[in-house]
Amino acid sequence: MRFFQQVHACLMAQDIEVKLRLLDSLIVNWSQDDLDFSPTATIERIADPGRPDKPNLVPPKDLVRRRLGSREGHAALMHAIAHIEFNAVNLALDALYRFQAMPRDYYADWLGVATEEAYHFQMIREHLAGLGYEYGDFPAHNGLWLTTFETDHDPLVRMAMVPRTLEARGLDVTPDMIKRLRAIGDQRGIEILKILLRDEIGHVAVGTRWFRYLCQQQGLNPFETFQTILEQYFHGDIRGPFNYEARAEAGFSSEEIAWLKKIEAQTFASPQ
């Protein structure tokens, strides 16, 4: 089996069930060591990966905010999380397909991430069904994939921007979502988010591992390089609060943690 061709087919599959089956096949072939890692003749830029027709994608400002106390608001929150996890499956697949000259351990890591993201998506999808809704019933935004597309030219930039910036933000906001679900008595939702938080620490750690590997290969200072990439590619302001314990577990250095604490202090010192 040609590994990169199989990954591309999975990435571009629009039907959710087909995508998940292709991912299962990829995992089986990996476990049987039945893969050919020959690069593809060309590496396609992917502005829009395989996804179902729904949800409708809209700008973040056009998303309707719903009160969590209502059934619809509760479902809308879980739908937003499901959308993030579905995108994360495609993101991990793109990290596999896009950068075809990395060490074998890189592909093992990102295939593992894709597998866990698919598991997360299925858990949330089932919970959403229990609330009377399906994935696609609410609009969503495409910000995570837009950054993925913007960073498809360089694995160093990708590792800095996607796992270490956008996905790391999930480490910061998940504890508050758990509190919100606890307030409405959603025990299953709490269990799911705790699993997500645990696993996402590992996913950010994968990004950190390969970011530092690439910095070492290029003789770059990881802290200075991370700051430079954020200045160039991050749209908006970096704002706290930050989950320092989770970020440290995910491999953020003491220097990076000190820098984030300075940003957070400036954030809350500034007029809102």
Which has more pLDDT, 266 or 165? 165
Cα 253 to the chain's mean position, in Å? 21
Spatial neighbors of 263 by CB under 8 A, at least 6 apart, are: 238, 239, 240, 242
- The correct answer on CATH 1.20.1260.10 for the domain covering 72-269 is yes
Q: Report the pLDDT value the prediction gives residue 269, as an integer from 0 to 100.
A: 60
Residue pLDDT, tens place only, 197-225:
999 999 999 999 999 999 999 999 999 99
Determine if residue 37 is left, alpha or beta; phi over 0 gives left, psi from -120 to 50 gives alpha, anything else beta. alpha
Check whether 271 has a pLDDT greater than 70.
no
Res. 65 pLDDT band, cuts 50 70 90: confident
Residue pLDDT, tens place only, 171-196:
999 999 999 999 999 999 999 999 99
Question: 11: burial class by Cβ within 10 Å (0-12, 13-18, 19+)?
Answer: buried
Determine if residue 103 is left, alpha or beta; phi over 0 gives left, psi from -120 to 50 gives alpha, anything else beta. beta
Q: Report the pLDDT value the prediction gives residue 34, as an integer from 0 to 100.
A: 84
Spatial neighbors of 192 by CB under 8 A, at least 6 apart, are: 120, 123, 124, 127
What span, in angstroms and rounded, lies between the C-alpha atoms of 64 and 204? 29
Check whether 99 has a pLDDT greater than 60.
yes
As a whole number, mean pLDDT of residues 4-8 equals 97
Please give the backbone phi and psi of residue 57, each rounded to the nearest 5 degrees, phi first: -95, 130
Res. 267 pLDDT band, cuts 50 70 90: low
What pTM was estimated for this model as a whole? 0.95
CA angle 101, 96, 222 (to 5 degrees): 70
Q: What is the mean pLDDT of the chain?
A: 94
**Residue showing tokens 């069904």:** 129
